Amino acid sequence: MLRVLGILVLIALYVSFIVDVVRTPRADARALPKLLWLVIVIVLPILGGILWFFFGRTRPAPGSRWGRRRGPVAPDDDPRFLKQLDEDAWRRRMRERRGEA
């Protein structure tokens, strides 16, 4: 039973490494092209996945969780966008006060 569990864990790791390579954007693959990483992970099941994990993936940004980029999801969540809106509204009000249309 323990042997079967170990094999299932290895298969799950193998599949997760393949999915991770496929889901990683092409620009985020390091050292080798993404397609070559996929071939390495498929041909060398566990060793290829470990190599991918240490040498192929981008490192998580500081302060991010699980390597996901944090930042605004929508324009109204972006502080720079909101600041630009405020500045545009202020400029419009100033033009209206000066009589410029």
pLDDT digits (tens, 9 = 90+) for 44-78: 988 999 999 999 988 765 555 555 556 666 777 78
Amino acid 81: pLDDT: 86
Tell me what the mean pLDDT of segment 3-11 comes to. Answer: 93
Taking a C-beta distance cutoff of 8 angstroms, is the pair 40, 48 a contact? yes
Query: What is the residue extent of each domain of the chain?
Result: 1-57, 73-101
Amino acid 101: pLDDT: 57
The one-letter amino acid at 24: T
pTM of the model: 0.59
pLDDT digits (tens, 9 = 90+) for 13-34: 999 999 999 999 888 888 899 9
pLDDT digits (tens, 9 = 90+) for 76-96: 778 888 899 999 999 999 999
Amino acid 6: pLDDT: 93
Calpha distance 39→19 (Å, rounded): 13
Amino acid 23: pLDDT: 92
The total of other beta-carbon atoms located within 10 Å of residue 39's CB is 14
